[in-house]
Structure 1
Amino acid sequence: MTDTTPAPGGFDEAEMRRVLDRGCSIVGLNTADARLLRGHTNAVVHLNAENVVVKIARKGSPIDHVTRTVRFVRWLTEAGFPTAPLHPVDQPVVVDQHAITFWTYLPQPNHPVAAAQLAKPLYALHTLPTPPIDLPAHDNIAAIHRSLTAITCLPDQEILFLTELTDRLKSDLSEVEFALPHGVIQGDPQHRNALHAGAGETLLCDWDTAAIGQPEWDLVTVEVHCRRFGHGQAHYAAFADAYGWDVTRWSGYRTLTAIRELRMITTNARKVHHNPNSLNEVRQRVEGLHRQEWQSRWNIL
């Protein structure tokens, strides 16, 4: 593996394959046709013959966090919520302190889930009762600070700029008056964290960021993805109409958007050593912060 090759989930390819083979052996799955689907955060692998997706949590992820996610998804399933289904095995499986989960594979068409299709399941999530799982409190500011302490790809003056910006936004956040009821949120709802399920149904997936917090954070995240990644205003407007509330018309929109975008930038900057090809995109996004660009296009990472 060269120094510009992304490390899936923080693993080199041989290590990932070793963990995959051992984990799948424990639950009786064959890995002969394993194919990496995604690796920027977790290592996500498709076993075609088994009709299973295997997710190896990012290297260093606490096992109890993955266990909590499994418990939460099982609770969602029992409640009839439209979530990606777990494969029916005892999980997570732990190999050398790396947590592995298994999911039923759902074939997908070429087109991603549209923003409007996220609205119904997201609204259903936001109106669920409090789950009997100790979900963390959603805290973007704390997540940004954690990333800032781990970034090695940016010069000190840029880290100082980002830290000072974080502190200003934290002060602004203290003045925000939220409009929606506190409850369960997905934490990162977007086109890639949802699946087509046939008959027009949409399933939410990737529950690592599920938390207790303000739904406005989820709604801002959808808007950011529509605006920054080229989906367009009409795409977001269709989502807002379907959800029944437009976060861009709310007084706290600009503050939450700035914080959410800063978290996306700092998270990707922290992961650059696992994916060196992303460095140029991170630098461009930071330059955009200096220029206070609001509409510039980002490339998906």
Structure 2
Amino acid sequence: MTRQDAEPMHLTESTFTPENTRNILETACGIAGFDAASAVVMRHHTNAVYLLAAQPIVVKIGRPDHHGHIDVVGLVRWLQQQAVPTVSLIDTEQPLHISGCPVTFWRYLDQQNRIVSAADLAEPFAKLHACRAPVPVALPDQQITYTFEAISTAIDNNTILSAQDRAMLHERREQLAEHADNIRWVLPRGPIHGDAHHLNALWDKPNECAVLADWENAAIGPPEWDLATLEVHCRRFGHPADEYDRFATSYGFDIRDWSGYRWLRDLRELRMITTNARKSARGSSTAAEVLRRIEALKANAPIGWNIL
């Protein structure tokens, strides 16, 4: 079962702030019977993620989405049945929907003594991409079409881009769209994570393995999407030069050898830039990073990116 909104006022992109998500946290924990006192913020960007002080529980508050959210709880339970390594849910009624935001409760895994590497993710992603059983929850199944739509929406709905930057990004989107029908996908379609990178995985010390997390962008689509996403993160965010080499060797397929790699790489990076532009407040450090990436895009400069 899913409890419906406990508060009538829905949050928006602009009101998804630590103060407001703290209120959601307290309401959700009150419903679930957990103690929210002294909870600490672990992350507050795409989602608001809190660690409870009284219990080893992580509370994740998703951003408001008027187009709906996927059934992450149902998906994760199914993935566990398919033996896909994933972080575990807490045994409580969830998700809760409060102020337009989905709230879920997860097992806390301490990450102090082990950093997840790309090679650690090869087995989890290979198992995910090998799933052939019907997925019992509704997932988006037009990943590339949706990506182009999301890029356009993000370009037009933000507070940090100049008119010139908007025009340049739209032009780049159109250039990529012109070649979309020529891409030849080579891996079987199936469930994909949608946002595959190191920070969306955790090290499960008791089981000595990496587990996947943050399933909000899961979809049915080409596994190449996940592989290209991880490659972008390895290359852009300062990981060792051989980081992706080791992943590709373990996974058994190197996305960089695929004919559509450069196109998908450029599309994935454009999606990352524009999505972060939409989420960034004018004058913030995240806005400065997005604008720095855009200037490098104009100059075709292969710069490193800072984590947002």
Of 240, 256, 277, the residue aligned with 1:269 is 277
Q: Which amino acid aligns with 2:72?
A: T
Does the C-alpha gap of structure 1 residues 100 and 178 become closer, same or farther in structure 2, counting only changes over 3 Å? same
Could you tell me how far apart the structure 1 residues matched to 2:100 and 2:165 are?
34
Q: Is 1:186 equivalent to 2:193 in the alignment?
A: yes
1:35–1:47 Cα contact (<8 Å) kept: yes
Does the C-alpha gap of structure 1 residues 274 and 189 become closer, same or farther in structure 2, counting only changes over 3 Å? farther
Does the C-alpha gap of structure 1 residues 147 and 63 become closer, same or farther in structure 2, counting only changes over 3 Å? closer
Q: Residues 28-59 of structure 1: CA distance to partner in whole angstroms, max 9, x if unpaired?
A: 0001120000001111000032110001111x
1:145–1:163 Cα contact (<8 Å) kept: yes
**1:136 match:** 140
1:228-247 paired onto structure 2 within 5 Å: 228-247=236-255
Q: Is 1:155 equivalent to 2:159 in the alignment?
A: no
| CA deviation after TM superposition for structure 1 residue 111, in Å | 4.3
TM-score (norm 2): 0.90
Could you tell me how far apart the structure 1 residues matched to 2:245 and 2:104 are?
35
Q: Matched residue of 1:36: which SS?
A: strand
1:220-259 paired onto structure 2 within 5 Å: 220-259=228-267
Q: Matched residue of 2:89: which SS?
A: coil
Q: Is 1:55 equivalent to 2:63 in the alignment?
A: no
**2:4 match:** none
**2:293 match:** 285
Could you tell me how far apart the structure 2 residues matched to 1:63 and 1:99 are?
13
Structure 2: runs of 5 or more not aligned: 1-11
Q: RMSD of the TM alignment (CA)?
A: 1.9
| CA deviation after TM superposition for structure 1 residue 151, in Å | 2.0
Could you tell me how far apart the structure 1 residues matched to 2:283 and 2:268 are?
21
TM-score (norm 1): 0.92
**2:83 match:** 80
Of 117, 120, 128, the residue aligned with 1:117 is 120
**1:4 match:** none
| CA deviation after TM superposition for structure 1 residue 98, in Å | 2.6
Q: Residues 233-272 of structure 1: CA distance to partner in whole angstroms, max 9, x if unpaired?
A: 3011000001001010111000000000000000111111
Q: Matched residue of 2:179: which SS?
A: helix
Q: Is 1:24 equivalent to 2:12 in the alignment?
A: no
Of 94, 104, 108, the residue aligned with 2:111 is 108
Q: Matched residue of 1:87: which SS?
A: coil
Q: Is 1:70 equivalent to 2:77 in the alignment?
A: no
Does the C-alpha gap of structure 1 residues 9 and 81 become closer, same or farther in structure 2, counting only changes over 3 Å? farther
4+ aligned runs moved over 4 Å, structure 1: 7-10
**1:3 match:** none
